[in-house]
Amino acid sequence: PILRGQLHSKPSNGNVTFIPQIRKLAFEFCQAWPTSAPLREVLGLHAETLARENPHVEIVVKKRMYRVPIVRGFYLNDRTKVIGLKKLTRNDVMDKIQLLLDSSGAKIKSLKAQPVQSTTPSTRGIWSGMHVEEPFKI
Amino acid sequence: MRRFHPNSFPLRSLPSTKRISALPNAPFPPTQLIERMTPAQTPQLPQFSPEEWGSIQDPSPSALHALAARISFLSTHSPAAKAELLTHALTHPSSLSVYVKYYPRAPLPTSNKALAAVGNSLLGLFAAEWVHASYPHLPTRAIKAAVSAYVGPRTLADVAKEWGALPLLDGLVVQCIGLLPRSVIALLARHSSLADARNFTHTHFLSRIVDLEHLLNFRAPKVVLVETAAKFGMERPISRLIAETGRYSNVPIFIVGIYSGSEKLGEGFGNSLRMAEYRAAEDSLNRLYLTRQPSHLVRLPTSAFPSSFSYPHGLGSFSSLTRPPAPGEEYVAQELGEAEVLFASSDRSGKQAPAADPSASLGASVVGVGDGIQHAS
């Protein structure tokens, strides 16, 4: 028997509308040490633009005194991605921020492991030896 | 050029990390000390739990605005208005008793219970009309099950999680997370329009994937098929063997098709002739009941309302209903599909539906539970 309280649907993000998977970006840096200088410059120049162009992201700054700077991305699948910004130039820091904004938060999987998996049926159908003009006869 | 001296950076304006006590005038002992004190020693101290206190505080503004942007909630309204409405939508009824405990003299905030009730009805309305219009021949019970699948409690909880609302609704009230999407729909219908609420439902709920084939289950598909074909005035269905292999082996495969005249209704495979015929009947019924109306031809009854109509409405909205529709806004109803043939559907009473009408075009008045389809050799 089908229990109506147990019925559910599967998500299809991107089908009609897309919900970006990143919800928060936390910049943790030191106010004194020079390793945090590129990040401080980036935030000073581009923080407002970043927030305006990505309204779905909460942007947070946090003190991380006398340590190297990091940026932490929080995702909707409850995972976190942390990127250290030590020895990165201003442009590299901006690239890392963009990497976090574009990510889905899923664990990085090897592309060499298995072939493509799909939730939709094949467009041309799977070949059947019974549905050809001349079926194979022993 | 501005130099980035650490002292010039506005981090000094960050709030202090000192905890704010619920009783600022009384000295607050640490939790470890309270645990060691007996109830007689702590007569004036309230039961203070930092997690509970944190759960009744307003969500952080940045998180609220991020949620509003993620779901494109009332994009034309001001950020302050959006934040206020979303806070209302996130106030669940179980937090009110906690609120009274910590702020006994403060006015009680309104919970989202009423909003959720309105939103639930609206969701059911939009889902039901869309499912019925998109699948015109789907049986009634399957429509009801489909509506549960699209906007039922499990889906609503999943959707709230996918919106990233769990950090805003604390972990204490996981069972109430489904109230948020319902409240959002109600707010859209009230502050934007019914059409906007409907579009939101289509975007976030009715675009999700539901397999309707699992909702159809026939106890005797061959007999149902015979009766359904008779209802549509088609020739009596006949099954034919299309292909076979390995008949005398331990894994034979038969492909059987069911034909009404020269029109093929469905096809099935199986390890026996009867199995293949059964599957072919099921396939034929699925092909009928799951026919889908193309989305550009779907006409929804709620589109008869003017596009600016909002619900619940003030007295001024009634005039928009009594006005004749504009030339492009006239509503033309979609053709309804045929109702399904009821066979062996006992409902709650346990009694089966009565036998087919003897005066039907089929002619044969005996409809047995056995094999209703003649096999053409």
Q: How far is CA B312 from CA A35, B180, B341, in A?
A: 57, 18, 39
User: Domain boundary at B212, B231, B264, which?
Assistant: B212
Paired strand residues for B344? none
The reported pLDDT for the residue numbered B264 is 97
Any CB–CB contact under 8 A between A121 and chain B?
A: no
**Quick one: which of B294, B159, B147 has its CA closest to B210?**
B147
Q: How far is CA A16 from CA B158, B199, B207, B209, B372, in A?
A: 17, 11, 7, 12, 44
Residues of chain A with C-beta less than 8 angstroms from the C-beta of B148: 4-5, 7
Q: What CATH number corresponds to the domain at position B178?
A: 1.10.1520.10
The reported pLDDT for the residue numbered B365 is 30
The reported pLDDT for the residue numbered B360 is 38
For residue B137 the two structure tokens come to: 């021949």
User: Does B363 fall in a domain?
Assistant: yes
For residue B319 the two structure tokens come to: 């005039």
User: Domain boundary at B161, B177, B212, which?
Assistant: B212
**Quick one: which of B72, B317, B77 has its CA closest to B191?**
B77
Paired strand residues for A74? A24, A80
Tell whether B268 and B208 lie within a shared domain: no
Residues of chain A with C-beta less than 8 angstroms from the C-beta of B269: 130
Tell whether B270 and B195 lie within a shared domain: no
User: Does B42 fall in a domain?
Assistant: yes
The reported pLDDT for the residue numbered A120 is 84
List of residues 6+ apart from A13 with CB closer than 8 A:
A19, B162
Please give the Cα distance from B229 to B223 (Å, whole number): 10
**Quick one: which of B273, B223, B232, B295 has its CA closest to B375?**
B273
For residue B321 the two structure tokens come to: 């209903």
Any CB–CB contact under 8 A between A60 and chain B?
A: yes
pLDDT beyond 80 at A11: yes
Please give the Cα distance from A38 to A93 (Å, whole number): 7
User: Does B158 fall in a domain?
Assistant: yes
Q: By the 8 A CB rule, do A39 and A85 touch?
A: yes
Q: Which residue of A lies nearest to B244 if distances are taken between CA atoms?
A: A130
User: Least CB-CB distance to B11: which of A7, A31, A119?
Assistant: A31
| DSSP-derived secondary structure letter, B253 | E
User: Does B6 fall in a domain?
Assistant: no
Please give the Cα distance from B181 to B162 (Å, whole number): 11
Please give the Cα distance from B282 to B276 (Å, whole number): 10
pLDDT one-digit tens code per residue, A25-65 = 999 999 999 999 999 999 999 999 999 999 999 999 999 99
Tell whether B138 and B110 lie within a shared domain: yes
User: Domain boundary at B178, B196, B212, which?
Assistant: B212
What is the full DSSP assignment across B67-109?
HHHHTT-STTS-HHHHHHHHHHHH--TTHHHHHHHH-TTSPPP
User: Does B337 fall in a domain?
Assistant: no
User: Does B344 fall in a domain?
Assistant: no
Residues of chain A with C-beta less than 8 angstroms from the C-beta of B7: 31
Please give the Cα distance from A40 to A38 (Å, whole number): 5
Please give the Cα distance from B251 to B186 (Å, whole number): 57
Which residue out of B131, B148, B271 would a mutagenesis test of the A interface target, given it has the greatest number of A Cβ atoms within 10 Å? B148
Please give the Cα distance from B240 to B374 (Å, whole number): 9
Q: What CATH number corresponds to the domain at position B225?
A: 3.30.160.20
Tell whether B178 and B226 lie within a shared domain: no
Q: By the 8 A CB rule, do A38 and A93 touch?
A: yes
Residues of chain B with C-beta less than 8 angstroms from the C-beta of A131: 243, 255
Tell whether B153 and B58 lie within a shared domain: yes
Q: By the 8 A CB rule, do A81 and A75 touch?
A: yes
Please give the Cα distance from A72 to A68 (Å, whole number): 13
User: Does B338 fall in a domain?
Assistant: no
pLDDT one-digit tens code per residue, A85-101 = 999 999 999 999 999 99
Q: Do B154 and A20 touch (CB under 8 A)?
A: no
Query: Maximum Cα–Cα distance for chain B, whole Å?
Result: 96
The pLDDT profile of chain B, 377 residues, written as one tens digit per residue, is: 444 555 554 444 455 555 555 555 545 666 666 667 676 665 555 677 888 888 888 889 999 999 999 999 999 999 999 999 999 999 999 889 888 888 888 999 999 999 999 999 999 999 999 999 999 999 999 999 999 999 999 999 999 999 999 888 875 566 689 999 999 999 999 999 999 999 999 999 999 999 999 999 888 999 999 999 998 999 999 999 999 999 999 999 999 999 999 999 999 999 999 999 999 999 999 999 999 999 999 999 999 888 888 887 765 667 777 778 778 778 889 988 887 877 655 555 555 544 444 443 333 333 333 344 555 54
Residues of chain A with C-beta less than 8 angstroms from the C-beta of B73: none
**Quick one: which of B272, B329, B338 has its CA closest to B306?**
B329
Tell whether B59 and B82 lie within a shared domain: yes
Tell whether B68 and B182 lie within a shared domain: yes
**Distance (Å) from the alpha carbon of B243 to chain A's nearest alpha carbon:** 6
The reported pLDDT for the residue numbered B41 is 65
The reported pLDDT for the residue numbered A16 is 95
ipTM exceeding the 0.85 mark: yes
Tell whether B30 and B134 lie within a shared domain: yes
Please give the Cα distance from A85 to A60 (Å, whole number): 16
Tell whether B193 and B231 lie within a shared domain: no
H/E segment holding residue A70: strand A70-75
Q: Do A55 and B203 touch (CB under 8 A)?
A: no
User: Does B105 fall in a domain?
Assistant: yes
Please give the Cα distance from A44 to B57 (Å, whole number): 31
Any CB–CB contact under 8 A between B301 and chain A?
A: no
The total number of structural domains that make up chain B:
2
Tell whether B168 and B284 lie within a shared domain: no
Helices (H), chain B: 31-36, 50-55, 61-70, 79-90, 95-102, 113-134, 140-151, 153-162, 179-191, 194-204, 221-231, 273-289, 317-322
For residue B317 the two structure tokens come to: 């909205």
Q: Which of residues 156-215 of B touch A (CB under 8 A)?
A: 158, 161-164, 167, 202-205, 207-210, 214-215
Q: Do B215 and A57 touch (CB under 8 A)?
A: no
Any CB–CB contact under 8 A between A45 and chain B?
A: no
Average pLDDT, chain A: 94
User: Least CB-CB distance to B154: which of A7, A15, A119?
Assistant: A7
Tell whether B264 and B162 lie within a shared domain: no
The reported pLDDT for the residue numbered B316 is 61
Torsion over CA: B268, B271, B275, B277 (sign): positive
Write out the residue range of the structural domain in which residue B226 sits. 219-294+351-375
The reported pLDDT for the residue numbered B17 is 54
Tell whether B224 and B365 lie within a shared domain: yes
Q: By the 8 A CB rule, do B279 and B209 touch?
A: no
